[in-house]
């Protein structure tokens, strides 16, 4: 649903999520993004490579030479700005589809499941 809605922007939902995260929290490391997005680092690294090669994000070296700090480029900000109305429309469509479901309760349940899975891995 979200990939279809975002298609005119050229973004997939995973790419949109990363760009949106970096809009609000520039300078995050790959590990910090993986934690925030609850995404495994292999998938995240693969997606970062794609959007970096598209010139939507850039990286700067961290204290450790393996550490990278990511931020949006001007092109990435423009791409995100173009995609946000499409995402909002998809959000509204999703909310309309789920109007008979308690989304707050569902969100809480999903959050608890994620927390339990993170604890199980740690």
Residue 122 binned pLDDT confidence (cut-offs 50, 70, 90): low
Contact, 41 vs 31, CB < 8 A? yes
Q: Which of 53-67, 76-90, 102-116 has the highest mean pLDDT?
A: 76-90
Token readout for 108 is 């809480």
57 bridge partner residues: 72
Contact (Cβ atoms closer than 8 angstroms) between residue 18 and residue 57? yes
Supply the mean pLDDT for the chain.
89
Domain boundaries, the chain: 2-121
CATH code for 2-121? 1.10.10.10
Tell me the C-alpha distance between 117 and 111, whole Å.
Answer: 10
Asked if residue 98 has pLDDT above 70, the reply is yes
Quote the pLDDT of residue 2.
83
- Cβ-contact 46, 15 below 8 angstroms: no
Tokens of 118: 């993170």
User: For residue range 13-39, what is the model confidence (pLDDT) as tens digits?
Assistant: 999 999 999 999 999 999 899 988 888
Q: What is the mean pLDDT of residues 100-116?
A: 82
Share of the chain above pLDDT 90, in %: 51
Task: Spell out the residues 6+ positions from residue 103 whose beta carbon is closer than 8 angstroms to its own.
Answer: 95
- Distance, CA of 31 to CA of 38 (rounded, Å): 10
């Amino acid at each position: 649903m979200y990939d279809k809605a975002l298609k005119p922007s050229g973004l997939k939902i995973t790419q949109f999520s990363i760009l949106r995260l970096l809009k609000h929290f520039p300078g995050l490391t790959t590990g910090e993004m993986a934690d925030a997005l609850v995404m495994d680092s292999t998938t995240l690294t693969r997606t970062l490579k794609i959007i970096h090669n598209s010139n939507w994000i850039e990286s700067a070296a961290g204290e450790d030479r393996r550490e990278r700090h990511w931020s949006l480029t001007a092109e990435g900000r423009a791409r995100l700005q173009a995609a946000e109305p499409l995402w909002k429309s998809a959000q509204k469509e999703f909310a309309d589809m789920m109007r008979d479901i308690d989304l707050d309760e569902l969100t809480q349940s999903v959050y608890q499941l994620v927390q339990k899975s993170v604890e199980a891995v740690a």
